[in-house]
Structure 1
Amino acid sequence: MEPVIVIGSILLAVLLLFMSGVQANPFKWLGLIGIKFVAGALFLFCLNLFGESLGLHVSINPVTSGISGLLGIPGVAALVVIEKFII
C-alpha cells in the first residue's frame, strides 16, 4: 500500500474521531495499546530467554507482540503451540 494512502487514512480516522465528539480520550487508548505491545514484546523476550534450553523460540514482531500483549499469558501459550505444531 502506498504510504500516502496509509497516512491519509490515519489522518481521516483521527479527524472523524474529533468531529464525532467521542467522550473518551482516543490518545489514552492509543497509549494503552502501545504499552500492551511493549509488554507483549517483553513477554516474548522472556519466553525466548528461558525457553532456549527447551527449544522454544517465537519471533518478536508487531503481530506477535500485539497478540501476546493483548491476550497475555494465554496468547503467549497460543503462539508457542502455533510455532511448535503448525509452523
Structure 2
Amino acid sequence: MEPIVILTLLAAMIILLLILGAPFKSFKWIGTGAVRLLIGALFLFFLNTFGGIFEYHLPINLFTASVSGFLGVPGIVALIFLDMMVVN
C-alpha cells in the first residue's frame, strides 16, 4: 500500500472515532485506546518517513504503536534509545 493511502485511512479512522465517540460509557476506554494506538502508529509512520533520510527504521507493530501512543514523544525517544542500545 502506498503511504498516502495508509495516512488517509488512519486520519479517517481517528476523525470518525473523535466525531462519533463511544456511545456507551463502558466502551469509552476502548475508543480512547484505539485512538491512542492510531496516533502512535501515525507517529511511527512519520518517524520512519523522516528517518529514511538517515537510514533509520523503527518497526510499526502493536507494542511500538502502544508505547508511542500512550507515552507520546517520550515513548518514541525511549523506543529509539532501546533500539540503538539493545538491537545495534
Rg larger in 1 or in 2?
Answer: 1
Indicate the percent of aligned positions where both proteins have the same amino acid. 41
1:16 corresponds to which residue? Answer: none
Aligned pairs, how many?
Answer: 64
Please state whether the residue corresponding to 2:41 is helix, strand or coil.
Answer: helix
Structure 2 stretches lacking a partner, 5+ long: 1-23
Moved runs in structure 1, 4+ residues, more than 2 A? none
Gaps of 5+ in 1: 1-23
Aligned partner of 1:67 in structure 2 is 67
CA distance in 2, matches of 1:64, 1:72: 11
Give the C-alpha shift of residue 57 in structure 1. 1.1
Counterpart residue identity of residue 43, structure 1: F
How many angstroms apart in 2 are the aligned matches of 1:44 and 1:51?
10
Once the 2 structures are TM-superposed, how far is the Cα of residue 62 of structure 1 from its aligned partner?
A: 0.6
What's the CA shift for 1:34?
Answer: 0.3
- Measured on the aligned residues, the alpha-carbon RMSD in Å equals 1.3
- For each residue in 1:1-58, what CA deviation from the matched residue of structure 2 results, as whole angstroms up to 9, or x when unmatched? xxxxxxxxxxxxxxxxxxxxxxx92201110000000000000000000011123211
Taking structure 1 as the reference length, the TM-score comes to 0.69
Amino acid at match of 2:86: I
